[in-house]
Amino acid sequence: MKKPQKILCALCAALILFATGCAGVPIQRESPRIVFEGMSEEVVRTFDSANEAFREKRFDRAMALYENILERFPSGRVAFLSHLKRGEVFIAREEYSRAIEELSFIPGGLEEDPIYAEARYMLALSYSRLGMNETSEDICRKLLSRKIPSYLKPEIESLMGDNFAESGQNRPAFNWYMESLKSRPDTKLKESVKKKIEDIIAYGLPLDQLQEIKKDYWWGYPSGYLFYALAVASCDIRNFEKADEYLSRFLSGYGEHPLFEKGEVLHRKIAAMKLVKHYAVGCVLPLTGKYASYGNRALDAVILASGIFDPGYSSPIQLFIEDSKGDPDTAREAVRKLANEHHVIGIIGPLGSAAAFEAAKEAQELGVPIITLTQKKDITETGDYVFRDFLTGDMQVKALVTYSIDNLGIKNFAILYPDDNYGTKMMNLFWDEVLWQGGQIRGAESYSSKQTDFGKEIKALTGLNLSGKDKKSEEKPIPIVGFDVLFIPDSCSTVNMIAPQLAFYDITGVRLLGTSIWNSPDLLKKDSKYLEGAIFTDCFFLDSVRPEVRTFIDRFYVACGREPGDMEALAYDATKIMADLITEDVVETRDELKDSLLHLKNYPGITGLTSFSGTGDAEKPLHMLTVIDGEIVQIK
């Protein structure tokens, strides 16, 4: 082949961009002026100008000049080269149908021309890009059966690999790519082909085919990629002995390999996977003792969420249950047993502040993710393996205050609370949240948890205790109400006593706020007119219209013979979150489970869209509930 012809043919070499999913513009190279026998100087100049425009990527100009030549000389070698160049332009523009049409115009009788093979290769390339892989393959095979320029052979073999890869036949695709490498491609094609080979090894071949390939490529390229992929594939089926064997070979013989650091990470992962049973989940709950009723309620939900007794679902989850007895030391020992003897990947529970704290400390020490079901303050500060999915006081007061200020336009608040631990805690939380959001606390009064008459406290909140000093006045004193909302963090029974007493003292137009313990049919057992418009919050509502909640309630009733409450809904969500991460995500170690929990966003739980904050606490929008016409309804 003459040198000018070689330079012209080389323009096609950069067209193969299968690895990046698109074709680009060919690399332009300077070529000496081509002289055609019998052609005038004008034609030669036109052809040279067209080539120059092509190199400068002025394709419209080049196409017009080639067209001008074809109008004057529709046959012969100059026509052949003009059609070839126009085909290249269409390929560069990714107009493959037009490229095929153009290349089909190449006149016959030029089969022995060295550049004819290149034209056929470009035709095969265009068919391949259109997904007509069999047609492209047929052209390539015919080309490879005849004498072709050495620079073109690796291009054709690479294209054969593309055709097989496109049709999902990765094993023959691998073979063709390896043949392309053996044919000494240029640097750009070599890097492209190697990328395709490495991708097939990493993602496109099952374990048995990787083992077959290893027999032929146990040293040299791409043996390092093969050993790493074999280790990964063996690890995926939990054949740790084989995984260690392949990985040991890789780490000992390929210290400079691009995947060496990943190999070290995989080595640590395999060591971690040996410590756990992939689908083993632990559960620590008080099943005996004074908190047994709560623990057994939660356990019903845990079992339902795990799916282990679901006849319509074959759950891979293995559930290991330990009784904490409500005792901190027992809870700590239960965590240790679940981690070291049952090799669980994660733990649900326990309940109660003291037991949860000891369990959390032990889980953190052992590196086992644990989702606690407790309100204990700062439990998640124990460490990054400790999570909580529970309805906390902070969550409730934030929801109540935010709704009052943003939706009701209320700024002035008062608090009437029991002087027990719960009441005092909720009072402090509410007060701080109101001030934080720009509201005002206009009064706060406490009462004994055994109290039934709240007149003294109501009078103190409304100034009635002061007006009563004038004994001579016969007029009924008028209360001075400087607040629009009264927060009462107490039980339904107490609220049912307070509400009518407020009316007795003419405290009207004040909206009552409460916590999740108001969400009970007992709230409306007495005269509900005094509670009309009261607002409280919860994470679960039995009369929810959400289909998934209705399904959960029905399934729970069928399985347990009763309706679920907050406890069951939260325990169900915590278990379902962990089970789904294990079975649906790539979670095989405790660290991977921990990371997946930390990155959980908007999980569609029964208690709402759930995410975990960076501290491990669950974040979810709470339901806002109110009393309308004697019924509890959801307003948000």
Asked, for residue 437, whether it belongs to a domain, the answer is: yes
Asked, for residue 483, whether it belongs to a domain, the answer is: yes
For 531-580, the pLDDT digits (tens) are 999 999 999 999 998 999 999 999 999 999 999 999 999 999 999 999 99
Q: What is the DSSP letter of 617?
A: B
Strands (E), 528-636: 535-538, 603-605, 608-612, 618-619, 623-628, 631-634
Q: Which residue shows structure tokens 């209705």?
A: 550
Among candidate residues 152, 185, 204, the one where a domain is terminated: 204
Q: Residue 108 has what pLDDT?
A: 65
Asked, for residue 102, whether it belongs to a domain, the answer is: yes
- 3-class secondary structure per residue, 588-610: CCHHHHHHHHHCCCCEEECCEEE
For 164-175, the pLDDT digits (tens) are 999 999 999 999
Q: What is the DSSP letter of 167?
A: T
In a 13 Å sphere around the CA of 604, the CA atoms on its Cβ side amount to: 5
Cα separation of the two ends of the chain? 80
Which tokens belong to 35? 């002289």
- To the nearest 10°, the Cα dihedral for 214, 219, 224, 230? 20
Asked, for residue 130, whether it belongs to a domain, the answer is: yes
- Tally of domains within the chain: 2
Backbone angles phi, psi at 238, to 5 degrees: 60, 30
Asked, for residue 506, whether it belongs to a domain, the answer is: yes
C-alpha closest to that of 575 among 275, 361, 378, 320: 320
Q: For 194-217, what is the mean pLDDT?
A: 95
Q: Residue 463 has what pLDDT?
A: 85
Rg (CA), the chain: 38
Strand partners, 619: 611
Q: For 128-143, what is the mean pLDDT?
A: 95
Amino acid identity at 620: K
Q: Which residue shows structure tokens 């979810």?
A: 620
Q: Is the pLDDT of residue 103 over 80?
A: yes
Asked, for residue 511, whether it belongs to a domain, the answer is: yes
| Domain CATH for 117 | 1.25.40.10
Q: Is the pLDDT of residue 471 over 70?
A: no
Contact (CB, 8 A) for 446 and 452: no
Q: Which of 26-30, 59-63, 368-372 has the lowest mean pLDDT?
A: 26-30
Which tokens belong to 8? 């012209």
**For residue 238, what pLDDT band results from cuts at 50, 70 and 90?**
confident
Cβ neighbors of 39 (< 8 A, separation 6 or more) are: 73, 78
Amino acid identity at 149: P
- The fraction of the chain above a pLDDT of 70, given in percent, is 92
List b or e across 283-318, with b for residues whose CB sees 16 or more CB atoms inside 10 angstroms: bbbbbebebbebbebbbbbbbbbbbbeeeeeeeebb
Q: Is the pLDDT of residue 351 over 70?
A: yes
Distance CA 606, CA 294 (A): 19
Question: How many degrees, rounded to 5, is the angle at CA 9 between CA 101 and CA 195?
Answer: 90
| Domain CATH for 415 | 3.40.50.2300
For 485-538, the pLDDT digits (tens) are 999 999 999 999 999 999 999 998 899 999 999 999 899 987 789 999 999 999
Among candidate residues 204, 234, 250, the one where a domain is terminated: 204
Asked, for residue 89, whether it belongs to a domain, the answer is: yes
Q: Residue 3 has what pLDDT?
A: 33
Distance CA 465, CA 457 (A): 9
Asked, for residue 127, whether it belongs to a domain, the answer is: yes
Q: Is the pLDDT of residue 393 over 50?
A: yes
Give the residue numbers spanning the domain of 500: 393-538
For 22-32, the pLDDT digits (tens) are 333 343 333 33
Q: Taking all residues of the chain, what is their mean pLDDT, rounded to a whole number?
A: 89
Backbone angles phi, psi at 185, to 5 degrees: -70, 165
- Inter-CA distances, 330 with 38, 290, 323, 326, 334, Å: 102, 14, 8, 8, 6
List b or e across 149-187, with b for residues whose CB sees 16 or more CB atoms inside 10 angstroms: bebbbbbbbbbbbbbbbeeebbeebbbbbbbbbebebee
Q: For 94-99, what is the mean pLDDT?
A: 93
Among candidate residues 522, 538, 554, the one where a domain is terminated: 538
Q: Is the pLDDT of residue 13 over 60?
A: no
Rounded to two decimals, what is the model's pTM?
Answer: 0.70
Q: Residue 449 has what pLDDT?
A: 87
Which tokens belong to 554? 């029905």
Q: For 276-290, what is the mean pLDDT?
A: 95
